[in-house]
Structure 1
Amino acid sequence: MSGIGRASVLIGAGTVVSRLTGLLRTVVLVAAVGSVPSAAADAFAVANQLPNNIYAIISAGLLSAVVVPQIVKAAAHTDGGSAFVSKLFTLGTVGLLVTTALATAAAPWLVQLYAPDYTPAQTALATAFAYWCLPQIFFYGLYALVGETLNARRVYGPFTWAPIVNNIVSIAGFLAFIALFSGPVTQVAGWTPDMIALLAGTATTGIVVQAALLLVFWRSARLRVRPDFRWKGVGLAQIGRLAGWTFLMMLAGQVAGLVQTRVLSEASSDGPSVFAFQNAWLLFMLPYSIIVLSIGTPYYTRLSEHASAGRDVEVRDDIVSSIRTLGLFVVLATAALAVAAVPASRIFTTDAAGALQAAPVLLAFLVCLVPLAVLFVIQRTFYAYDDTRTPFFFTLVQVALVVTGALVSAALVDVGVIALPQLASSVALTQSLASVVQVILATWLLQRRLGGLRVAEWMLSLARFTLAALPAAAAG
């Protein structure tokens, strides 16, 4: 088996177990606080979403986009990159501590920003949850920083296996909540400090353990890291320039998410809202994580090495082969999950009626599963060439469309064109369509820059995979 094959199997196996335990975690959480409708579940969803949003900026943006290619380049230094990584880790740790402190202090304002339509009681509960959840930012960031460094050093397993322990800790804590306080506790009235501490504290403890576990594997990276506050001389200025565009890109994405959450909060207690939207996204991300991340991550490291060496022909081959490989599995996964949308949604609801309301949200997300797999490859090719500016602009187009779609969906509810229970699926569909536009624009821009992407070749492959999957989906 090739190096990429072995790495993909290791990452894929970890991702499968991680996602399955993550699904079980959510099932237990639903048993604890309900789902559709549940004011308490939506309050917790908003609070626990806040550190996740910061993590999205740190991991999907600054680290995945910038750090992996730079660490690959730093490996050519005489010290193997140790000085670079030491300065990077010192700077990152300081930044995470400051960000975490500021965000935690701003908890009431953040909750109000994301959920302006909550009742005073629901806002108070969400704020109490947020004080417990926001410290996750530091440990999410530490996990991402260490994990992406391990990936860049071709130590792939720990980054995908560590979340399993997080899920186990969360499951144990949520089960303890059910045992002590029964469930589901769906109303915002009657929540005591002990209940809040157990539920939200469990979520944070899981992230702490997840980050700490990665440190056990640090020796495999073969890097000596020590605190170093001399942040000049090893290329951090280059990272700053690259990260600036990436930060703006991820910030724009958070604006889109903020608008979506504010719109969705209108439906709390009346149909699928924030929690149901997040659960549908979790189901959507199951095949994406298992397939795209497990296969795409090793390809990204190799693609970065080829780009750094100026071997453009091999970069083009990497693009085509990775898209075709990803496409085969993602198309099949899309068909399977579409057929199983209702029973899959039933996992996260307390009754069949809730599943029927939640399933259209999942189906709307599935529209963009294949395009997002293609985008994973295209976008990371720009990153491999130290270009974070172009991804910012094609993502800005997507963000504008997502925001417009969410606001139009809310307006359609106001004028009675769609019912309030359909709001979440409408928001999800407009997000998917925006992502389709994004990947088309991104591919066109990369073709102009690099050329020779053989778009017709892999598009034909994707079309064949789709035609082959349709009979199976129809039979299902």
Structure 2
Amino acid sequence: MAKPVSIPGIGRASAFLASGTMVSRVLGFIKAILIARTIGQVGVSGDAFGTANILPNTIFTIIAGGVLSAILVPQIVKATVHADRGAAYINKLLTITLTILAATTVAAMAAAPLLVKVWSSYGPEQTALATVFAVWCLPQLFFYGLYSMLGEILNAHKIFGPFTWSPALNNVVAIAGLFVFMGMFGADSQGLREASDWTPAMVAVLAGTATLGVAAQALILFRYWKVLGLRFRPDFAWRGVGLAETGKLAGWSFAMILVTTVAGIVQSTVVSGASGPNNASIFALQNAWLIFMLPHSVLAVSLTTAYFTRMAEHARARDMEALKLDVSASLRNVSMMIVASAAVLFAVAIPFGSLFAGSPGQAVSMGFVIIAFVVGLVPFCFLFVLQRTFYALGDTRTPFFFTLFQAVLFCILAAGCLLLDKSLIGFGVALATSIAGTAQTFVAFFLLRRRLHGLDVQQIVNSMSIFTFSAIPATIAGGFVVLVMGGMNVEGWALSTPVAAMFTMVIAGAVTTLVYVFFLWVFRARELATIAAPFTKVLRRLRRA
């Protein structure tokens, strides 16, 4: 039997990945805050730009979370046993992928007016502005795909760092572009600028530098191929290296793209109908989702990415018992940290929202959208682990079906949000996302348990119970701190300035975390000792020194 994955080894790899992701996410938050302060979180400009940015970003999210991951890592792991370490396979696969990406990007740019109309329900002037933004943003699709391809190839060879750190370059370039924009054209934090106020130069600076950042993020990865001894040579002879098998896997993954895209269109169309002063619409939901994704990206993705290559190796060796151990450990270790993150976000949602908002009223509106998303944070991270396990098994068919279930349920719930007042539509759609995602996770867990002929359900349930009971008093304590500091009052000190909001978040977040850890210690959660082990070793070394 293969030896179970080493927790300390996984811990070191995860810490390195998490540090890169944290830097990128911090820069991403700075970029998002600057965008909101530059063009306004609500109003014509912010929602038009948000809609344009949805088009490449939606496809990228699908690719990064499933399609390329599902296809590349298991197949490249298999190909690395060849004499050329998979070089021929990689060149052929990269050639065909870049060809498809280039053709798709050109077609999408030509269809930009149609795509904007499908993804939104704006008036004529706002639609025209969103279309111009889209023409500049859609080339990101090619570079996002290239980034995912190159990154997954490096991941399959157990070189995780570049894929995790390169988004920081993207954010630096985009932030520089925002400062240039503000210097040339001024800022509009209240979102008062009309569609007719935008000139071609303004659009080019804002959207053009955003695309330039994504290009830099992708192209920098070629530098690290020398470490692997690889060199890209276009190869259009696509037969003979197992691409037929890859095509079968890709068929289900692209079907999943279609399903997810339909759900995305429904979401965007419903939410864009609420676009207007003080209503949480497209841009507000994007920023709330960015906040929601922070713990997922820093913790869940980093930890599971380190596990995933090991899962693929165990799946290839048909060592199901070792794979079960990986799944159980990943779910429990991820959950302990994600539950803590959810508790913190529940407590600081409104002050956090104020960093992006142009007024306290907008901050409260966005805060409730954040809370609605956070309801589904733990199931969302669970689902990521479960999907990755199916991909390690070379199964993209099953994820398609439980994604189809989620998409249908979400579309029904989102359509029901049209009955709500416009001020509540954003909150309703975010909550619908959480409900549908939670239901999807339960279905995925049941299917994986059946596929593996059992999982350590009792141990997972016991751990989740401890985490949940620890999070309740922690959330209450953090929420009380926010209340005392005026974070739940539109005229309160915590919402008066960005500095006050950040100070409130730090204090409330620290209190929430400390209370959570205290109750984990009281309940003797063994996962706490596992996560704390690397820090304990460092402290012991420092004492000896």
Q: Is this a same-fold pair by TM over 0.5?
A: yes
Corresponding residue of 2:532? none
Corresponding residue of 2:36? 30
TM-score normalised by length of structure 1: 0.96
- Which of 454, 462, 468 is residue 466 of structure 1 equivalent to? 468
Corresponding residue of 2:457? 455
Q: Distance in 1 between matches of 2:372 and 2:316?
A: 38
Q: Distance in 2 between matches of 1:252 and 1:282?
A: 22
Matches within 5 A, 1:177-196: 177-184=181-188, 186-196=193-203
Residue type of the partner of 1:428?
A: A
Corresponding residue of 1:13? 19
Q: Distance in 2 between matches of 1:384 and 1:164?
A: 28
Residue type of the partner of 1:13?
A: S
For 1:234, what is the secondary structure of its paired residue?
coil
* Identity percentage of aligned residues: 47
Matched, 1:130 2:138: no
Corresponding residue of 1:205? 212
Residue type of the partner of 2:17?
A: I
Shift of residue 374 of structure 1? 1.3
Judge conservation of contact 1:96–1:138 (CA < 8 Å) in 2: yes
TM-score normalised by length of structure 2: 0.84
Q: Give deviations 1:85-120, integer Å, cap 9, x for gaps.
A: 1110111111111011100111111011111x2111
Corresponding residue of 2:521? none
Residue type of the partner of 1:22?
A: G
Corresponding residue of 2:157? 153
Judge conservation of contact 1:11–1:160 (CA < 8 Å) in 2: yes
Q: Distance in 2 between matches of 1:463 and 1:69?
A: 34
Q: Give deviations 1:328-366, integer Å, cap 9, x for gaps.
A: 100000000110000111111111110101111111111
- Which of 385, 395, 398 is residue 390 of structure 1 equivalent to? 398
Q: Give deviations 1:274-332, integer Å, cap 9, x for gaps.
A: 00011110000001100001111010111111111111110000000011110110000
For 2:196, what is the secondary structure of its paired residue?
coil
Corresponding residue of 1:95? 100
Structure 1 range deviating more: 96-105 or 446-455: 446-455
Structure 1 range deviating more: 195-204 or 50-59: 50-59
Larger Rg: 2
Q: Give deviations 1:158-178, integer Å, cap 9, x for gaps.
A: 111111111111111111111
Judge conservation of contact 1:87–1:229 (CA < 8 Å) in 2: yes
Corresponding residue of 1:226? 233
Corresponding residue of 2:267? 260
Judge conservation of contact 1:375–1:439 (CA < 8 Å) in 2: yes
Judge conservation of contact 1:406–1:427 (CA < 8 Å) in 2: yes
- Which of 148, 159, 162 is residue 144 of structure 1 equivalent to? 148
- Which of 164, 169, 174 is residue 165 of structure 1 equivalent to? 169
Judge conservation of contact 2:24–2:171 (CA < 8 Å) in 1: yes
CA 1:222–1:455 in structure 2 vs 1: closer, same or farther (change >3 Å)?
farther
Shift of residue 2 of structure 1? 3.5
Q: Distance in 1 between matches of 2:37 and 2:211?
A: 19
Shift of residue 432 of structure 1? 0.6
Q: Distance in 2 between matches of 1:221 and 1:331?
A: 38
Q: Distance in 2 between matches of 1:216 and 1:449?
A: 40
Corresponding residue of 1:421? 423
- Which of 211, 226, 248 is residue 241 of structure 1 equivalent to? 248
Matches within 5 A, 1:357-372: 357-372=365-380
Corresponding residue of 2:503? none
- Which of 170, 174, 192 is residue 178 of structure 2 equivalent to? 174
- Which of 356, 363, 373 is residue 364 of structure 2 equivalent to? 356
Q: Distance in 2 between matches of 1:308 and 1:347?
A: 47
Matched, 1:400 2:408: yes
Judge conservation of contact 1:155–1:221 (CA < 8 Å) in 2: no
Q: Which has the higher contact order (CA 8 A, sep 6+)?
A: 1
Judge conservation of contact 2:225–2:231 (CA < 8 Å) in 1: no
For 1:280, what is the secondary structure of its paired residue?
helix
Judge conservation of contact 1:42–1:275 (CA < 8 Å) in 2: yes
Shift of residue 260 of structure 1? 0.5
Q: Distance in 1 between matches of 2:39 and 2:231?
A: 45
- Which of 373, 376, 381 is residue 373 of structure 1 equivalent to? 381
Residue type of the partner of 1:103?
A: A
Judge conservation of contact 2:74–2:312 (CA < 8 Å) in 1: yes
Aligned residue pairs total 468
Q: Distance in 1 between matches of 2:382 and 2:416?
A: 27
Q: Give deviations 1:176-200, integer Å, cap 9, x for gaps.
A: 1111111116321211111011011
